[in-house]
């Protein structure tokens, strides 16, 4: 069916109430876009295809007739479409060829092949919808009439004579409630529960390709910006040298000379000292460390002849130190390059300032500004130095260790260790080996543990908080205080006690046996499944007080009138919980849930203090003198391997890197799904 509407609107003015079927929106003065209004007659809902638009603009200058329906199929979108198709086939082809290569040539690296296959599948899953999304976007724009209709520029005539534009729009209703259409709020309300759920699910999956498209775009832009900024920096360095004064040119070699000659004594001295210390460090030790960084040392001992002592053995290389100080040297070099660039930039600025005849900042003003506008530098210096030296550097060091054969035997002291590429990953993923079996099971249990621990604590904690919060409950403060008190007591005391409580000769077993309920002690820590359940239950015991505290405050923030009006409507307690409490809580505590999940993946205390990772699985073999068990999660495994009798630092590092991968992937997914995490800059 085809329809024909004519309407008027004032250009540049407020939107006038129009025919109920169509709803005009202004996008600037030059563009008008329109959508079928939400309040359309339900029988006519559906996709609307514009077939024809004429625009007639009347002004006191006379009337202009425009027949305009501009297609929105611009080149960019077409290109994207072609590009996405190309990328899909390219990625697929690359993955297939590389996978075959890997499987045929290096069967040892089968896991790289698997990763490639996964990347290929992911690329298919992600890029194909991307491709479809662009195709659909095009179609949708055309169908829904969202395309921009160019309104020809009209010069307002003299006086207050309003200009009227008359649009004649013909459109066609194609299909009722098309699958691609996003529902308006009213339409959404008409759906029943199941349909609502399906709709949300559908919208979620439809959102994924759009999210990826955005991410890819942003990544591309960022890379581009990064490249451009580097290129600009290089150009600027060259330009400064060409145009700068002789003082500036000297400071290319002697840092701080420019500042000194402009009487910025403090900055000049600091720059110079930095350069001097860098040169001294590089000459004395940095070059030495860096030179051996590639091999991590070649000779552990050397026999030298000493005229006084005779023959003596001395230690020459220490792989550990070479790796560590080599890394430090690299850090230092990066810092030097940055400072040097800063020095050049400052010289240019000083040149510019003196050229305009202004006064340069004195050292005294520099120091003063450190307490004022540059106060953040003062505040951040020590904490950031601490973070870089004690977190960033050690973690990068340990990641690198994963690519060496550093362990108890090759300790880098008596026996030097060296780079070994991906060998450790190969060992861990070796198909069908004991270790890979252990890794798979431990990873699975870690994830199960984290999910169950997080959500059981969350819901039960909320439940307890609601019980205490309920109207008519007496001595609320007392209940809360008792629970809060248990937070204060260090976990190693309470957990070690509880672990003994459930021991074979512990109180629980003894009591049950005394009552005659059981004949033999229940092996709470001896049976794998039972131990897992026990760990989860005791974790609830540990976690509920925290969650009770956190949720109490938030629960009290929910406006009471929401509940009142729900009660008037006859909603029972369960309905109120599902429809009011849960959405609100999930929205507010979303980020906390994620943090809690991550901290549960790394929840060392509960597992280690209760079971030490046992009951042991000797079939899995030992790594670094540590035998993993049923309740071992990745972090306790890592700890066991690091502290075992034959510590295997390389495997610990590999596991640590894998924990990072797991955590970061999960966080990335959750961050993109949850609405409340996206608003991090809301207060800014």
DSSP character string of 309-331? TEEEEEE---HHHHHHHHHHHHH
* Binding of residue 315 to other proteins (CB under 8 A): no
Report the distance separating Cα 255 and Cα 276, nearest Å: 9
Minimum distance between the CB of residue 443 and other proteins, rounded to whole angstroms?
14
**Binder of other proteins out of 330, 571, 670, 673 (CB under 8 A):** 571
Cα-flanking dihedrals φ and ψ of residue 268, to 5°? Answer: -60, -45
Q: Is there a contact between 285 and 325 (Cβ–Cβ < 8 Å)?
A: yes
Instruction: Give yes or no for residue 553 binding other proteins (CB under 8 A).
Output: yes
Written as one string, the DSSP assignment of 411-459 is -SSSS---B-TTHHHHHHH-TT-HHHHHHHHHHHHHHHHHHHHHHHHHH
* CB of 285 or CB of 500, closer to other proteins: 500
Taking CB under 8 A as the criterion, which residues in 374-413 touch other proteins? 375-376, 378-380, 382-384, 386-387, 389-392, 394-395, 397-398
238 interacts with other proteins by CB under 8 A: no
Residues 545, 613, 614, 624: which binds other proteins (CB under 8 A)?
545
Q: Are 99 and 117 a contacting pair, CB within 8 Å? A: yes
| Residues binding other proteins: number (CB under 8 A) | 126
Site for other proteins in 32-61 (CB under 8 A): 37-39
- C-beta of 246: minimal distance to other proteins in Å? 30
State yes or no: residue 599 binds other proteins (CB under 8 A).
Answer: no
Angle between the 434-469 and 634-643 helix axes, to the nearest 10 degrees? 130
Query: What string marks each residue from 242 to 281 as x (binds other proteins by CB under 8 A) or -?
Result: ----------------------------------------
Q: Among residues 283 and 496, whose Cβ is nearest to other proteins?
A: 496
**Burial tier of 37 (Cβ tally within 10 Å: 0-12, 13-18, 19+):** middle
Is residue 479 within the footprint of other proteins (CB under 8 A)? yes
232 binds other proteins (CB under 8 A): no
DSSP state of 162: -
Length of the chain: 684
Which of 28, 159, 357, 570 touches other proteins by CB under 8 A?
570
Query: Assign residue 596 a region: left if phi > 0, alpha if psi is -120 to 50, beta otherwise?
Result: alpha
By CB under 8 A, tell whether 656 contacts other proteins.
yes
Give exposure, 611-634, as e/b (b: 16+ Cβ within 10 Å).
bbbbbbbeebebbbebbbbbbbbb
Binding test (CB under 8 A) with other proteins, winner from 583, 618, 669, 678: 583
Contact between 474 and other proteins by CB under 8 A: the answer reads yes
- Rounded distance between C-alpha atoms, residue 635 and residue 355, angstroms: 61
User: Contact between 672 and other proteins (CB under 8 A)?
Assistant: no
The Cα–Cα gap between 197 and 181 comes to 16
Interacting residue with other proteins among 473, 518, 533, 669 (CB under 8 A): 473
Site string (602-631) toward other proteins, x via CB under 8 A: x-xx--x-----------------------
The total of other beta-carbon atoms located within 10 Å of residue 500's CB is: 12
Helix (H, G, I), strand (E, B) or coil at 131: helix
Q: Of the candidates 162, 147, 171, 170, which has an alpha carbon nearest to the alpha carbon of residue 54?
A: 170
| Least distance (Å) between residue 150 CB and other proteins | 25
Smallest separation (angstroms) from other proteins to the CB of 70: 26
| Binds other proteins (CB under 8 A): choice among 270, 462, 468, 531 | 468
Considering only residues 483 through 502, tell me which ones interact with other proteins, judged by CB under 8 A.
483-494, 496-498, 500-501
Q: Which is nearer to other proteins, 140 or 667 (CB)?
A: 667
According to the binding rule CB under 8 A, does residue 639 interact with other proteins? yes
Give counts: helices (H), strands (E), the chain: 24, 11
**Does the footprint of other proteins cover residue 644 (CB under 8 A)?**
no
Among residues 185, 284, 355, 619, the one that binds other proteins under rule CB under 8 A: 185
Nearest-approach distance from CB 297 to other proteins, in angstroms: 15
Question: Interface residues for other proteins in 319-338 (CB under 8 A)?
Answer: 320, 324
Q: Which residues pair with 613 in a beta bridge?
A: none
Q: Is 533 in the site for other proteins (CB under 8 A)?
A: no
Query: What does residue 525 show for φ and ψ, rounded to 5 degrees?
Result: -105, 0
Contact call for residue 373 and other proteins (CB under 8 A): yes
Scored b (16 or more CB within 10 A) or e, 94-107 reads ebeebbeebbeeee
Task: Confirm or reject binding of residue 219 to other proteins (CB under 8 A).
Answer: no
* Beta bridge mates, 629: 616
What DSSP state is assigned to residue 100?
Answer: H
- Is residue 364 within the footprint of other proteins (CB under 8 A)? no
Q: Is 81 in the site for other proteins (CB under 8 A)?
A: no
CB of 97 vs other proteins, minimal distance in Å: 32
For residue 632, say if its preceding peptide bond is cis, omega within 30 degrees of 0: no
């Amino acid at each position: 069916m085809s329809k024909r509407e004519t309407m008027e609107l004032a250009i540049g003015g407020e939107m006038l109430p129009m025919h109920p079927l169509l709803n005009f929106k202004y996008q600037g003065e030059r563009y008008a876009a329109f959508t079928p209004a939400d309040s359309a007659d339900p029988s006519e809902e559906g996709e609307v295809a514009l077939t024809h638009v004429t625009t007639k603009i009347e002004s006191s200058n006379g009337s202009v007739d425009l027949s305009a329906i501009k297609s929105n199929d611009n080149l960019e979108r077409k290109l994207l479409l072609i590009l996405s198709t190309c990328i899909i086939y390219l990625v697929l082809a690359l993955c297939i060829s590389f996978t075959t290569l890997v499987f045929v040539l290096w069967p040892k690296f089968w896991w790289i092949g698997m990763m490639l296959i996964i990347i290929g599948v992911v690329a298919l899953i992600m890029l194909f919808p991307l491709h479809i999304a662009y195709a659909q976007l095009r179609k949708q724009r055309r169908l829904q009439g969202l395309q921009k209709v160019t309104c020809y520029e009209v010069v307002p005539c003299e006086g207050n004579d309003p200009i009227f534009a008359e649009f004649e729009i013909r459109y066609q209703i194609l299909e009722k409630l098309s699958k691609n259409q996003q529902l308006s709020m009213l339409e959404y309300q008409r759906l029943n529960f199941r349909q609502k759920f399906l709709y949300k699910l559908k919208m979620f999956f439809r959102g994924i390709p759009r999210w990826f498209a955005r991410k890819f775009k942003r990544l591309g832009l960022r890379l581009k910006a990064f490249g451009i900024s580097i290129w600009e920096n290089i150009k600027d360095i060259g330009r400064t040298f060409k145009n700068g004064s002789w003082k500036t040119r000297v400071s290319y070699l002697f840092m701080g000379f420019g500042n000194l000659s402009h009487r910025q004594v403090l900055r000049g001295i600091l720059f110079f000292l930095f350069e001097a210390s860098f040169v001294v460090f590089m000459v004395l030790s940095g070059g030495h460390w860096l030179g051996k960084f590639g091999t991590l040392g070649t000779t552990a001992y050397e026999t030298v002849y000493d005229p006084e002592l005779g023959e003596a053995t001395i230690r020459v290389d220490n792989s550990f130190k070479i790796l560590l100080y080599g890394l430090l040297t690299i850090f230092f070099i990066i810092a030097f390059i940055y400072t040097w660039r800063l020095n050049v930039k400052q010289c240019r600025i000083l040149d510019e300032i003196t050229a305009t005849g202004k006064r340069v900042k004195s050292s005294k003003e520099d120091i003063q500004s450190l307490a004022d506008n540059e106060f953040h530098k003062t505040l951040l210096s020590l904490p950031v130095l601490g973070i870089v030296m004690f977190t960033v550097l050690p973690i990068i060091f340990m990641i690198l260790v994963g690519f060496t054969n550093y362990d108890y035997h090759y300790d880098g002291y008596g026996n030097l260790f060296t780079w070994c590429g991906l060998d450790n990953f190969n060992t861990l993923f070796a198909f069908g080996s004991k270790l890979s079996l252990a890794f798979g099971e431990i990873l699975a249990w870690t994830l199960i543990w984290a999910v169950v621990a997080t959500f059981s604590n969350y819901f039960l904690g909320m439940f307890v908080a609601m019980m205490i919060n309920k109207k008519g409950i007496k001595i609320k403060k007392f209940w809360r205080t008792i629970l809060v008190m248990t937070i204060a007591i260090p976990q190693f005391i309470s957990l070690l006690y509880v672990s003994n409580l459930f021991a074979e000769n512990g109180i629980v077993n003894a009591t049950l046996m005394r009552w005659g309920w059981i004949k033999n002690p229940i092996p709470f820590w001896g049976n794998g499944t039972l131990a897992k359940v026990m760990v989860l239950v005791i974790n609830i015991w540990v976690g509920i007080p925290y969650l009770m505290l956190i949720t109490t405050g938030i629960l009290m923030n929910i406006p009471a009138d929401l509940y009142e009006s729900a009660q008037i409507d006859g909603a029972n307690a369960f309905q109120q919980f599902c429809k009011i409490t849960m959405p609100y809580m999930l929205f507010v505590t979303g980020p906390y849930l994620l943090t809690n999940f991550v901290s549960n993946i790394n929840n060392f205390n509960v597992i280690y203090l209760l079971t030490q990772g046992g009951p042991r699985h000797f079939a899995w073999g030992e790594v670094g003198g540590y035998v993993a068990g049923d309740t071992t999660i990745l972090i306790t495994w890592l700890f066991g391997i690091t502290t075992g009798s034959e510590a295997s630092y390389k495997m610990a590092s590999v596991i640590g890197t894998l924990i990072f991968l797991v955590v970061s992937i999960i966080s990335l997914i959750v961050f993109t799904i949850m609405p409340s995490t996206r608003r991090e800059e809301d207060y800014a």
